[in-house]
Amino acid sequence: MNNQTKNKVSKLSERCGSIVDLIEELKEEIEHIKDSMQERYDNMTERIQEGDKGDELQSEIDKFESIISALEQAGEEAMTAKDDLNEISEN
C-alpha cells in the first residue's frame, strides 16, 4: 500500500474513533434519561405502576434500554472497524 492510501486509511480510522466517542456520549445521555425515568417509576405507588401511566412509563423505559443496547453494539462495531483500519494503515 502506498503512503497516500495509508494516510487515507489512517484518517478513516480516526473518523471511526470520533464515531465511537459520539456513540458513547449519546449512550450516556440516554442512560441518564432512562435512569431518571426509572427513578420516577420506582417512586410511583404500586397501584399507579400497574395502571396506564405506569405501563406507559415502563414501555418508554424499555425502549430506552433497547436503544442503549443498540448503541453499545454500534459502538463495538465502530471500534472494531477503527482497530481494523488502524492495523491496515500500519502494515
Residues 35-72: tens digit of each pLDDT: 999 999 999 999 999 999 999 999 999 999 999 999 99
Pick the closest to residue 40 from 19, 8, 21, 64 (CA basis). Answer: 64
This model's pTM is above 0.75: yes
Alpha carbon of residue 28 to chain centroid: 8
Taking phi over 0 as left and psi of -120 to 50 as alpha, with beta for the rest, 2 belongs to beta
Cβ atoms of residues 64 and 26 within 8 Å: no
Instruction: Calculate the average pLDDT of the chain.
Output: 96
